[in-house]
Amino acid sequence: MVDAVSYFMVDVEADGPIPERYSMVAIGAVVVEPGLQRTFYGRLRPISEQFIPIALSVSGFSRADTLAFPNPGDVMRELAHWIGENTTGRPMFVSDNNGFDWQFVNWYFHAFLGENPFGHSSTNLGSLYKGLVKDFKKNFKHLRRSRHTHNPVDDARGNAEALLHMRDALGLKIDLR
């Protein structure tokens, strides 16, 4: 018998390229299932004095905005609770760019909670698509229906739409309980 897995599409906005030196300023997550109605959105106060203005500008927030955001530890506790409430079996982290998103989420969970509810692994949506269509040069982004806005919930939703399309139209075997 295969263990149950709940898939979470996650997107992060940050004010620089790496955690601890720079800060995650927003996180969005969507439970991957038809309808894509279960979502999480959190904004996080910076953990560092350093930031790269152009990186922060992508999020649409100013530094003054982010300094008024909630305590990151509180947001990560809320996210962990939400993941727990929305998981059947074990939670699986999926992201468009898990090299970037995973490093922030994993670091923040360990720094503020001492553990990561996703465990030690993640899945890259782009790599999954390349393997599914057997072409390393192909990109999945044309499968999104939602506009890519850099609001992390919008972006996670668009990526979840692409994953559902891979299942429904391209034959990806994925059990969405």
Mean pLDDT for the chain overall: 96
Evaluate whether residue 177 is within a structural domain: no
pLDDT recorded at residue 2: 57
- What letter represents residue 63's amino acid? R
Mean pLDDT across 80-90: 96
**pLDDT band for position 11 (cuts 50, 70, 90):** very high
pLDDT recorded at residue 64: 98
Bridge partners of 8, per DSSP, are 31, 93
- Picking from 151, 130, 134, 123, the residue whose alpha carbon sits closest to that of residue 32 is 123
CATH number of the domain encompassing residue 102: 3.30.420.10
Mean pLDDT across 16-28: 98
Evaluate whether residue 37 is within a structural domain: yes
**Confidence check: pLDDT of 129 > 70:** yes
Helices and strands per DSSP (H, E), number in the chain = 6, 5
Bridge partners of 26, per DSSP, are 13, 43
Chain-centroid distance, C-alpha 45 = 18
Evaluate whether residue 176 is within a structural domain: no
Evaluate whether residue 19 is within a structural domain: yes
In tens, the pLDDT along 135-161 reads: 999 999 999 999 999 999 999 999 999
The span from the CA of 174 to the CA of 177, in Å, is 9
pLDDT recorded at residue 68: 98
Domain count, the chain: 1
Measured CA distances, 90 to 24, 29, 152, 163 (Å): 24, 16, 23, 18
Dihedral Cα 45, 48, 50, 56, nearest 10 deg: -20
Host domain of residue 28 = 5-170
Record the tokens describing residue 49, joined without a space. Answer: 């004095």
Record the tokens describing residue 44, joined without a space. Answer: 């996080």
Determine which of 21-25, 151-155, 172-176 has the lowest per-residue pLDDT on average.
Answer: 172-176
28 neighbors 153 (Cβ within 8 angstroms): yes
**pLDDT band for position 1 (cuts 50, 70, 90):** very low
Evaluate whether residue 103 is within a structural domain: yes
Evaluate whether residue 64 is within a structural domain: yes
Measured CA distances, 54 to 59, 61, 63 (Å): 9, 11, 11
Evaluate whether residue 25 is within a structural domain: yes
Evaluate whether residue 175 is within a structural domain: no
pLDDT recorded at residue 3: 81
